[in-house]
Amino acid sequence: MYDLLIKKAYAYNIGKNKDIAIHNGKIVEIREGIPETAAREVIQANGNLVAPGFVDCHMHFDKVFSLGEKDSKTLDAAIEEFYSYCNNIKEGEWKTDIKRRAKEAARFAVQSGTTSLRTHVNIEPNTDLQGIEAMNELKNELKDYVDIKITSLPSFYDEPEAQAKRLDLLEYACKNGLLDFLGGALNIHDNWEDLTEKIFAIAVRNKLPLDFHVNESDNPDIRHFEQIADLTIKYGYEGRVSCGHVTALNAVDNETAARVIGKAKKADLNIITLPSCNLYLMGRGDKQPIRRGVTRIREFLEAGVNISYASDNIRDPFRPIGNGDMLEEGLLTAQVAQMVTKSELETVFRMGTLNPAKALQLQDYGLAVGKNADLVIFDSDIVSDALISQATRRYIIKKGKIVAKNTKTTDIVF
């Protein structure tokens, strides 16, 4: 007897009229005509889309819902505003504060169909590993509802001696299993080249993959992106390194961009575009035309580079709006990238599901027998319509269990 049976699904990348049987958290059978009596619980998909859950591969769970009074408008101002939020938290309350806000964000993510996510967590001189520890506690608390992967986002605004202490802290966090990825927004610091070398070395020593913020700027400088591609190849880390933002790629000439995108392909980098946040923060110095601040999505796709979109920030100084909803972010990405034909929308959908699953190295992900039953049942039958209509996600299933349901009712008089 199966635990759960989904009847008459439009199974993502498989086809119509499929029944999906789930047992012990795994997909055990996908075919037509599995009898309803074969399972303890049956959900009728009524011909609608059933797809693997969204994978939100770049979030900031320690920053969510920290919006103050100010309207930040630039990346530098947002960083400053977040520090002023942190400084107002009472001594000893940092972990509780992060967990409270992060749990709310996790509820936003799960109810909109995210089944796995990756969050950056700041490491500051005054908080050390408190944020990382809080996130590990939450990761464990929520493990039956959503997979949370943790990446470090250390600050290096201080002197070399203090920086060295933070690097030791990172090494300690790796050795104690507190991190799934190592990262940082290193190019905002003067000694970014040296810091990047050091972070790479820690990752290699501890056999951890990497996830960087890279060249999130309007300036025509993509040396950091190039350095990461070079180091990835040098250390044989192909496929294990993510690069978020890379907005500066817009500011360089086409020839330079093509050369560096070729290098990214060779290094098998995982690119993450964050349109919602960068539309808000980039191009602030422009009068008209105002640049979009979004990386070269089409060129990466054409070069065969694994590119995903993600939601980045939720109602904090870096983006005062946002719902952590990957279907909403998908439609925004499609509009910004001017990719709205049926097949282009299918590509965008992949950028929120299969592509980020590859970036996160999720081995048990996908709609196939033997994979984790992390699924979303939509109220649309095809991917493009799910994006266009912002379909209701009727059921969100994590490891074979229903973790969220949504309904939509409309009364109209004509």
Between 245 and 394, whose beta carbon lies closer to Zn ion? 245
CB nearer to Zn ion: give 9 or 185: 185
- Rounded distance between C-alpha atoms, residue 10 and residue 46, angstroms: 9
**Chain centroid to CA 403:** 20
Structure tokens at 76: 């530098």
Question: Looking at 190-198, 251-259, 306-314, 370-378, which segment touches Zn ion (CB under 5 A)?
Answer: 306-314
**Candidates 134-142, 154-162, 310-318, 404-412 — which segment interacts with Zn ion by CB under 5 A?**
310-318
Residue with tokens 């946040």: 277
Contact characters 257-296, Zn ion, x per CB under 5 A: ----------------------------------------
Which range, of 86-94, 157-165, 309-317, 325-333, touches Zn ion by CB under 5 A?
309-317
Under 8 Å between Cβ of 364 and 151: no
CB of 295 to Zn ion, least distance (A): 13
Candidates 188, 128, 186; CA nearest to 162 is 128
Burial 1-35 (b: 16+ CB within 10 A, else e): ebbbbbbbbbbbeeeeebbbbbbebbbbebeeebe
Give the shortest CB-163-to-Zn ion separation in angstroms: 21
User: If we measure between CA atoms, which residue out of 399, 409, 373 comes closest to residue 50?
Assistant: 373
Nearer to Zn ion, 153 or 377 (CB): 153
Of 218 and 312, which CB lies nearer to Zn ion in the complex structure? 312
The HSE-up count of residue 235 (CA atoms within 13 Å, CB side) is: 24
**Please, where are the H alpha helices in 34-159?**
75-87, 94-111, 130-141
Question: 19 vs 211, which CB is nearer to Zn ion?
Answer: 211
Using Cβ positions, the residue closest to Zn ion within the complex turns out to be: 312
Residues in the interface with Zn ion (CB under 5 A) total 1
Least separation in angstroms between CB 59 and Zn ion = 8
Residue placing its CB nearer to Zn ion in the complex, 312 or 316 = 312
Q: Which residues bind Zn ion (CB under 5 A)?
A: 312
